[in-house]
Amino acid sequence: MKLYSLSVLYKGINKSNLLKAAYDLSSFSFFQRSSVQEFMTFTSALIVERSSTGTRSSIKEQEYLCHVYVRNDSLGGVVIADGEYPSRVCFTLLDKVLDEFSRQVDSIDWPSGSPATISYTALDSYLAKYQNPREADAMTKVQAELDETKIILHNTMESLLERGEKLDDLVQKSEHLGTQSKAFYKTARKQNSCCEVM
């Protein structure tokens, strides 16, 4: 039951802008961590880009679940979790974080902001605290409220893309991914087997 990343982004007209992110990569192999982090950034940005404002969605990708909430004011948050972590708690967390962020960081700064320029420091402690889902306050209360909220479910990342768009192409073009990560993606895609040695 794990949370891997928590990001706040701004959904611009054409592309999304990463404002702040926190990661917990402790469960990944040491030498893969930098690539994994880049992929989580890439995924979070892509998800916010392809989600409409005023929506909540959960996207399944391999063994991960990405939960996104894009507010009507274009402020968006993404939590990447494993399949066990209760999704309701993720949406509680997103509501809370985006609310706090919008009160601490002026909306003027959102369209052009970056992790270096934005001063919001609570993400790391939220990510750490919520590793134990029972930390979520008033969980049962949120369950009742979220019942009425519709959460769009996607079975793959592909379903977020436009017709004809390929994830492989987006990976190659992405500025969030370094050359090593792009190479890693290529070989991982080819093998897709847990018993591969090379």
* Token duo for residue 167: 């994830």
* Strands 55-61 and 64-70, bridge-based pairing: antiparallel
Shorter beta-carbon distance to another protein: residue 145 or 158 = 145
From CA 75, how far away is CA 16, in angstroms rounded? 10
Shorter beta-carbon distance to another protein: residue 80 or 105 = 80
Shorter beta-carbon distance to another protein: residue 165 or 196 = 196
- Least separation, in Å, of the C-beta of 175 and another protein? 19
Shorter beta-carbon distance to another protein: residue 107 or 143 = 143
Interaction site with another protein (CB under 8 A): 1, 27, 29-32, 35, 63, 83-84, 86, 132-134, 143, 147, 180-181, 183-184, 187, 194, 197-198
Q: How far apart are the first and last CA of the chain?
A: 29
Shorter beta-carbon distance to another protein: residue 11 or 67 = 67
The edge-to-edge listing of strands for the beta sheet with 64-70 is 16-23, 3-11, 75-82, 64-70, 55-61, 151-154
**CA torsion angle for 22, 71, 75, 136 (degrees, to 10)?**
-20
- Least separation, in Å, of the C-beta of 82 and another protein? 9
- C-beta separation of 42 from 23 below 8 A: no
Shorter beta-carbon distance to another protein: residue 14 or 62 = 62
From CA 47, how far away is CA 121, in angstroms rounded? 23
What one-character DSSP code corresponds to residue 85?
Answer: S
What one-character DSSP code corresponds to residue 28?
Answer: S
- Least separation, in Å, of the C-beta of 144 and another protein? 9
- Least separation, in Å, of the C-beta of 62 and another protein? 12
- Least separation, in Å, of the C-beta of 143 and another protein? 7
- C-beta separation of 77 from 94 below 8 A: yes
- Least separation, in Å, of the C-beta of 25 and another protein? 13
* Token duo for residue 170: 């987006």
